[in-house]
């Protein structure tokens, strides 16, 4: 498995490093603060910019400092861990074109929908933005303020490789262990492929932390164990969409009530996305 997908990992990491070092992300974010389609542009740029949830914190802080609305901020924070250049390439390398297209469509649709829901809730005073405090939200011991500063292409490529490569190898190991140690009949027998499988996938995966990219080889391992495409798709989205750094960051930026609504939305979104993908794929 490692030999088959290593070229995709290297290519994805290099592409991510090029985007991070050659583009001024602050200038890219400036046009999304206002206008009818601000939430849409926030979702698009959040999906294009490379980096984990920790690396997107400075951009999210800039949005808050620039008086971006709740919907814009939430759409950007939600889509960032779901989509990035390297995760799109890795999804294609591991899982094929249908999972890749499904991931892009579901992530963008989910982020835009949530952004407008939060915008309407704030407009009707059901939710409010907390006072902004600039803090270090990074919960990864290997991450620091320096890690989000731009360096040379080689430095950024090496830094990204070290950070993502560790979780990439963990994902490969877990996927290999699943396919070797768990009988292929276990999941179809005890979990099934019906609606219960989607609920189990959502309940299990939402509290779990998976770094960007780590969930992809694990999803491939679950598919090898005959887990249905839909529940596997739900797992793939939920594993990174509700990772601990994103939840903590969202709570600091949008407030406790909003983060509770965010978690509830994610549970529904993961199940519905899996069901929709199963019908399409």
- Predicted pLDDT at 80: 80
Residue 272 lies inside a defined structural domain of this protein: yes
Model pTM score: 0.74
110-114's contacts with Cβ under 8 Å and 24+ in sequence apart are 110/78, 110/79, 110/82, 110/269, 110/273, 111/42, 111/43, 111/46, 111/47, 111/75, 111/76, 111/78, 111/79, 111/82, 112/39, 112/40, 112/43, 112/75, 114/74, 114/75, 114/78, 114/262, 114/265, 114/269
Residue 15 lies inside a defined structural domain of this protein: yes
- Predicted pLDDT at 57: 56
- Predicted pLDDT at 179: 58
Burial label, 116 (beta-carbon count in 10 A; 0-12, 13-18, 19+): middle
Residue 162 lies inside a defined structural domain of this protein: yes
- Predicted pLDDT at 103: 96
Domain count, the chain: 1
Residue 34 lies inside a defined structural domain of this protein: yes
- Predicted pLDDT at 233: 94
- Predicted pLDDT at 55: 55
Beta carbons of 130 and 251 less than 8 angstroms apart: no
Question: Which residues of the chain fall short of a pLDDT of 50?
Answer: 136-148
Residue 166 lies inside a defined structural domain of this protein: yes
Q: Which domain holds residue 206?
A: 2-129+152-280
Using alpha carbons, select from 87, 120, 99, 67 the residue that is nearest to residue 243.
87
- Predicted pLDDT at 238: 83
5-47 pLDDT, tens digit per residue, is: 566 567 656 766 776 677 665 666 666 666 778 899 889 888 8
Residue 170 lies inside a defined structural domain of this protein: yes
Beta carbons of 107 and 212 less than 8 angstroms apart: no
Return the residue matching tokens 């999803």: 219
Residue 137 lies inside a defined structural domain of this protein: no
Residue 141 lies inside a defined structural domain of this protein: no
């Amino acid at each position: 498995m490692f030999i088959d997908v290593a070229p995709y990992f290297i290519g994805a990491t290099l592409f991510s490093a090029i985007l991070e070092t050659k583009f001024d992300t602050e200038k890219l974010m400036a046009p999304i603060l206002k206008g009818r389609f601000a939430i849409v542009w926030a979702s698009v740029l959040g999906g294009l910019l490379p980096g984990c949830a920790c690396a997107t914190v400075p951009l999210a802080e800039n949005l808050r400092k620039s008086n971006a609305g709740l919907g814009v901020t939430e759409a950007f924070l939600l889509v960032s861990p779901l989509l990035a250049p390297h995760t799109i390439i890795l999804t294609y390398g591991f899982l094929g074109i249908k999972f890749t297209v499904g991931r892009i469509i579901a992530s963008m649709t989910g982020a835009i929908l949530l952004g407008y829901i939060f915008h309407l809730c704030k407009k009707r005073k059901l939710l409010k933005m907390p006072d902004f405090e600039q803090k270090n939200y990074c919960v990864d011991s290997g991450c620091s303020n320096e890690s989000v500063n731009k360096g040379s292409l080689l430095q950024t490529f090496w830094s990204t490789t070290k950070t993502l490569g560790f979780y990439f190898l963990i994902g490969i190991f877990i996927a290999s262990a699943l396919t070797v140690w768990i009988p292929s009949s276990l999941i179809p027998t005890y979990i099934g492929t019906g609606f219960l499988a989607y609920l189990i996938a959502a309940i299990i995966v939402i509290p779990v932390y998976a770094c960007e990219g780590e969930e992809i080889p694990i999803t491939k391992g679950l598919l090898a164990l005959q887990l249905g495409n839909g529940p596997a798709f739900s797992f793939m989205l939920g594993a990174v969409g509700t990772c601990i750094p994103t939840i903590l960051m969202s709570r600091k930026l949008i407030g406790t009530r909003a983060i509770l609504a965010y978690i509830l939305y994610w549970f529904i979104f993961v199940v519905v996305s899996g069901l929709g993908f199963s019908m399409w794929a």
